[in-house]
Chains A and B, each alone.
Chain A
Amino acid sequence: MGTVTFEDISLNQFDLETLPLLKKLRSQLLNTKPEVCIERARHVTEYLQSTEGSGESMEIRYARAVNYFLSKKEALFFDENLLAGTTTCKAFGAPVYPEWTGLTIWPELDTISARDKNPLRLSPQDAEELNLGIYPYWLDNSILEYARKKYNNPECMQLMQKIVFFIGSKAGCISHTVPNFKVALEKGLACLIDQAAVKEAELGRSESASAEDEQKRRFYQAVQIALQGIIAYARNLSRKAAELAATEQDPGRKANFEKMAQICSQVPENPARSFREAVNALWIIQVALHAENINMAMSPGRLDQVLYKYYRDDINRGKLTVKEAMELIGCLWLKLNDNTNLVPETAEELFGGAGTAPAVTVGGVDEKGEDAVNDLTYMMLRVTELLQTRDPSLNARYHYEVNPETYRNRVAGVIASTQCVPAVHNDVVDIRVLENQGTKLEHASDYAVIGCVELGVPGRSYDAPSSIMLNLVSVLELALYNGKRPITGDEEISPPTGEPSMFESFEQFWEAFKNQLKYVMGQAIEFNELLGKAYQEKLPSPLLSAFFEGPMEKGKDLIRGGALYNSSGATNIGFADTVDSLNAIEQAVFIDKKCSFPQLLQALKDDFKGHDPLHQYLKNKTPKYGTDHPVARKNAQNLIKFIFDFYQEHENYRGGTYRPGYWTMTNHAGQGKLTGALPNGRKAHEVFASGITPVSQATENLGACLRNVGSLEARFIPSGQALNLKFPTLTGEADIKRLGEAIEAYFKYGGLHVQFNIMSYEMLKEAKDNPEKYPELLVRVSGYSAYFNDLNEAMKEEIISRSAYDIRTGQAIPLPESTD
């Protein structure tokens, strides 16, 4: 159970003036330009190339490659951060992962340093090494191309490659998980290595060993090899820190280097004995995880719980002050920002502005269901409030029956002052949703957020929640155009489901839609399964597996189903626009009979030009998701149930289920820009609504929005959802309390998650037109934070146009006439 000792939980006595180290480090971070880092790519490629044809299993080879890299990884100290270790060899680095998406920047090697959107510095020498020394090895060996060749370019892969139907994220990563750092901090890596060695020895050595035992043996060996790499890296850090201490003249810096040298000689090889050792051990492990898996949503989890006992013990012994603890937390937060994703410029269309989304979760209840809010919870909230950096993505769990109202209101206060963080998650519903998926209550109670909004159990569940990102609007169009989509022209994408002009009832169209949805979901599942199997052969994760309950006991890598709980996540894009279009078809064609289907399709084809009365009717008079209209409620509920039932019927390659979610990153903007007019009155190339949020301006008041989104059956959304709301302003304690109450009301309706931008239309419009005036403006996108200036134009427009509500009246504020 958590303990709060602070009289003033706002910790207002601490700010960047009283924490000058954090102020300095923050300023350095924000002024550091990102650079491409090829260090990992170099060493991993070197090792794998040199052992090609060795006959050694991929598990061992890959573990050795990871060990090889970590052993050679440069021990660098770029600034006065109190923590040792860096994700890359650059102060702010974008590491190249050639196994995944690293080759996508090949065309840009000569131009990436000067590209318009989010340039990344790359030296000519490194560019040449990538071009001639690293990339050639991966031409046929990246995971997507390996799978393509192995499975002979299957239909599902060809469909995925069009990008406009679904994205199979395994081509770019799995990552997306929350490891169990606790076991590493408590026992040390040497102990984990010993455990693996014991397990290996227990298997014995027999010439007639089964294939399964051989697999287990390789796994245990791979775990030992990979973990030894982390220890090697920590020792290098210790040696280097000691060298730097020996020549450092400044007493403060010298003392810091000496301290880091001591710490790295102890952890993470051995158990952590202090708060600082625990924080640094955690950080080194986080760095090491990225030696094996791409830097996307590798989430540290419930840090206020994981680190609490070290904090409490040091405070009680007088070895640590609150200020020192704040500094260490701030240093960790800043370290979590030391890397970014390597993406081609045009990937910003779909994933614009995202950091690496390492989600940190605070608050909520513990495994026994008791209040888990403690001093560290408030310190982490305060550090987040002060630093206001893109990462980590902070998520506050709130249990309205257990956590105190003061906590809720403090969370609301931080949202008000940062204007966007943290996101808030509903413990009551989230825990129930996970239990419904077969998670034990005590494990579900310990849930943490992965990446954007997805739900996972630290060190126990392997969720791969971004496995599928499916464009629901593409399915709608396939139903409207009988197996084709305007953007793909005359190509027959899917089996025909009938010409809508022949349908005599909405139910017939709904059947056609469901059949198209089954087809696209089926293709997405097949793609995920094929890639999953390819991963089992080519990209195991023994290092990550060591930090999970299950793999060591079963002798099975996470990728082979070693975790206690297994699933694959499938999120959906364009939910609100799809539901509203279904509503519009039902109302306009079959209930009001305002138009026939052919007339409707013609209007869409014309982008409503020459069809103004129909357009106005569709836009303003047809039922909208997020309102109390029975048609809207019915269609929304039917859709999420259908999606849930279909996915849950399928078992994934790890023996788990498929779990749907509703979060979109910036896909809703990119896909929207490519899509023509829709029956809900949306004009061509307008962005879709984000996450599970109703279409902008669809709901006239906040109460209806919260009620109708919240009452969607939560158990049908096991992978999480993103509800994005906006208030132009929150003034004073009364407004903050109202915000807290609105959150609680929404949670009581049954909503899983909500996040906010506390910004007006006008302010955002000004930020878009005058970016230099808002260099550090952070906004909540759809599950993560991004600097507004890093977003593409479509995404900026989408955030500007999101519905804003008056916190006092609950009324929607109309979008100003011109936001162009």
Chain B
Amino acid sequence: MLEKFFNFILFRFSKLSRAAKKILADIESELTEEFVELLLNTMSLYFRINKEFRKNIKGFEGRYLFRSRNGNITLSAVFYKGKMKVSEEETEDPHVTVIFKNAQSLWNYILSPKPDILGSLLKQEVVPDGNLNYLYKFAYMANHLRLKLPDLV
């Protein structure tokens, strides 16, 4: 039983480490369409194993819909009861929908070392629809994860 538990934890850390490596590699090269899903899944995983990080979503209910302009990417992130669930199905009644030109523009918007929310809005590369405060919170969590990525590899 204990062995199964430790293997489970190891598996998760290992999975997280691989995800972190992939994200860092993507950042260095060209961001692909898969980047968004990778990021959200990594975030979800990190919430599961890091108690400190999980404080950000304690008691938090938030529904996010990310959609690329060409329709190729549709992803939902739902925060509920201390967990983050990522899905390719559209969540109902999202607090905020983020329509983005491509993965790079989403990166610029919320994740780069200099998150450029206003700049991306001004250039219309990312168009949010809904409660911007939820977006700011998400951007904080995503950036916090980004800063931790090198430690996870």
Contacts and interface: CB of A to CB of B under 8 A. Distances in A.
Interface of A: 103-104, 106-111, 115-116, 131-132, 135-136, 138-140, 142, 144-145, 148-149, 153, 158, 161-164, 344-347, 349-350, 487-489, 670, 674
A156 to B, nearest CB: 14
A115 B112 CA distance: 12
A103 B56 CA distance: 15
**Of B60, B110, B136, most A-chain CB atoms within 10 Å:** B136
Interface string B109-135: 010011111110111100111111110
Contact of B122 (A104, A107, A142, A670): A670
A308 B143 CA distance: 54
Nearest to B62: A139
A106 B139 contact: yes
B117 A346 contact: yes
> Size class of B's contact patch?
20 to 34
B153 interface: no
A133 to B, nearest CB: 11
A438 to B, nearest CB: 38
A675 B116 CA distance: 18
Instruction: State the majority secondary structure of interface residues on A.
Output: helix
A142 B133 contact: yes
10 contacts: A103-B132, A104-B117, A106-B140, A110-B143, A115-B114, A132-B56, A139-B137, A142-B133, A488-B124, A674-B122
Interface string B85-116: 00000000000000000000000001001111
Given A139-B134, A142-B133, A161-B128, A110 B144 contact: yes
B147 interface: yes
B113 A111 contact: yes
Nearest to A116: B114
Contacts of A116: 114
Nearest to A488: B124
Contacts of B143: 107-108, 110-111
Instruction: State the majority secondary structure of interface residues on B.
Output: helix
B55 interface: yes
Given A106-B133, A161-B132, 18 more contacts: A103-B136, A116-B114, A131-B140, A132-B55, A135-B133, A135-B137, A136-B59, A138-B133, A139-B133, A139-B134, A144-B132, A145-B131, A145-B132, A153-B129, A161-B128, A162-B124, A163-B122, A487-B124
Contacts of A138: 133
B133 A140 contact: yes
Nearest to A343: B118
Contact of B116 (A131, A153, A346): A346
B117 A344 contact: yes
Nearest to B115: A107
B69 to A, nearest CB: 9
A145 B117 CA distance: 17
Nearest to B137: A106
Contacts of A488: 124
**Of A103, A115, A135, most B-chain CB atoms within 10 Å:** A103
B131 A140 contact: yes
A68 B130 CA distance: 32
Contacts of B113: 111
A135 B136 CA distance: 10
Nearest to A114: B113
A107 B136 contact: yes
A349 B124 contact: no
A556 B48 CA distance: 52
A345 B139 CA distance: 14
A164 B122 contact: yes
Interface string B13-47: 00000000000000000000000000000000000
Given A344-B117, A349-B118, A145 B124 contact: no
Given A132-B55, A346-B117, A349-B118, A674 B140 contact: no
Contacts of B144: 110
A110 B134 CA distance: 17
Given A111-B113, A111-B143, A136-B60, A164 B133 contact: no
The 3 closest A-B pairs by CB, nearest first: A107-B139, A346-B118, A106-B136
A164 B117 contact: no
Contacts of A103: 132-133, 136
